Amino acid sequence: MTELNLRYFAWVRERIGTAHESIELPGDIATVADLLGWLKTRGPEYEHAFEQTDVIRTAIDQTHVPHE
């Protein structure tokens, strides 16, 4: 497992109730799309925040990246 630091902004932050968190990334997560799908399973607030992943922008080390 890999530790990952996540930062949330705007309405995602409001829906899940935190601006950032550190998580242990499951070994089967290979893409941003996989990560977003996994985050949805973490509870109803995450499911609500990530229900429309096509409108969520993602970045790794401050560089925007696609979900694939």
Domain ranges for the chain: 2-65
* 15 in Cβ contact with 23 (< 8 Å): no
Residue 24 has pLDDT above 90, yes or no: yes
The answer to whether the pTM exceeds 0.85 is yes
- Among 2, 37, 31, 8, smallest CA distance to 21 is for 8
Q: How high is the pLDDT of residue 1?
A: 72
Q: What is the pLDDT of residues 1-17, one digit of tens each?
A: 789 999 999 999 999 99
User: What are phi and psi for residue 5, nearest 5 degrees?
Assistant: -100, 120
Q: Which residues of 19-43 are buried (b: 16+ CB within 10 A; e: fewer)?
A: eeeebeeeeebeebeebbebbbeee
Fill in the DSSP letter of residue 56.
Answer: -
pLDDT band at 37 (very low <50, low <70, confident <90, very high): very high
